[in-house]
Amino acid sequence: MENRSNVTVFILLGLSQNKDIEILCFVLFLLCYIAIWMGNLLIMISITCSLLIDQPMYFFLNYLSLADLCYTSTVMPKLMTDLLKKRKTISYNNCMTQLFILHFLGGIEIFILTGMAYDRYVAICKPLHYAVIMNKQNCNMIIIACCTGGFIHSAGLCLLTIFLPFCGPNEIDHYFCDVYPLLKLACTDTYRIGVLVTVNSGLIALVIFVILMVSYFMIFYTIRAYPAECRTKALSTCSSHLTVVVLFFVPVFFIYIRPATTFPEDKVFALFYTIIAPLFNPLIYTLRNMEMKNALRKVWCQKPFLIGRQIN
């Protein structure tokens, strides 16, 4: 298909046209961005510098935190600088690049969450085979599969979008480049492409979510026979992961599981998986997980003391 676009720059309408609200959002998002970096770096360093890195669950959590940092950094710096500008623009090439990276990293996050659910399923439902199934080599293969799945998902969306003709108008009613707002601007019939986008994003997310829920149903059914102490520990880890899954998937469903249309509420729901989920993930995994709390204490409380003793 020949690309007949004459649009080289898109105008982002952003979150609000009120300058006072934009300044307030800038301050709020700046604090959130700092907290996202601090929280996720804290988890990554604590896992890497402790024995938790050898446990598959935390091995995956380490990569989830890295994906969160990269994902939110694809949106937040541009969003915050645009909040201080009167005219918010993004070039066609940068728009397509942002679209690819966002869906690539978003796909990786979804598949990592699936890998973490599989780890919990094997640990609780097949404990005798856990060490064999979730060995280091298989964990590395799961991460490679997550990256491959994210790439295929994102490349598919970009191939559907990049050849669309954009003749004007060039105003995107969003704060970043996403596929549905771009389809709305294309000067051609996008019905079939919209269906393919819905299948690529919404339907795949729904299938994965159903698989996750079935696996957790089996987990909760299995732990009924556990002693109270073991059941509490299993529920603590699983509930943390389940909370993150719901926080990430629900807004994704609202935006991508319907036909290719846009609503004003899309921008609010997009904040959940671009800012709120990466912000709360570290809190969810640290405040509800005893092993993570112990790792934080060992890494951040004991090391300075040991260094001080060595110096003396």
Is it the case that residue 101 has pLDDT exceeding 90?
Answer: yes
274 token code pair: 């671009």
Is it the case that residue 306 has pLDDT exceeding 60?
Answer: no
- pLDDT digits 0-9 by tens, 250-288: 888 888 887 767 777 788 888 888 898 898 888 887 766
Give the domain 9-301 fold: Rhopdopsin 7-helix transmembrane proteins (1.20.1070)
Selected residue with higher pLDDT from 254 and 78: 78
- How many Cβ atoms sit within 10 Å of the Cβ of residue 158? 18
Quick one: pLDDT band at residue 4, thresholds 50, 70, 90?
Answer: low
Q: Mean pLDDT over all residues of the chain?
A: 85
Distance CA 264, CA 256 (A): 14
- pLDDT digits 0-9 by tens, 191-227: 888 889 888 888 888 889 998 888 888 888 888 777 7
Selected residue with higher pLDDT from 289 and 41: 41
**pTM greater than the 0.85 cutoff:** yes
- Max mean pLDDT among 141-150, 171-180, 280-289 falls in 141-150
Q: Please, are residues 255 and 269 in contact by the beta-carbon 8 Å criterion?
A: yes
Calculate mean pLDDT across residues 14-41: 92
Q: Looking at this protein, which amino acid is placed at residue 74?
A: T
Is it the case that residue 185 has pLDDT exceeding 50?
Answer: yes
Calculate mean pLDDT across residues 229-235: 73
Region of poorest pLDDT, from 71-80, 148-157, 231-240, 298-307: 298-307
Is it the case that residue 302 has pLDDT exceeding 80?
Answer: no
Distance CA 164, CA 91 (A): 15
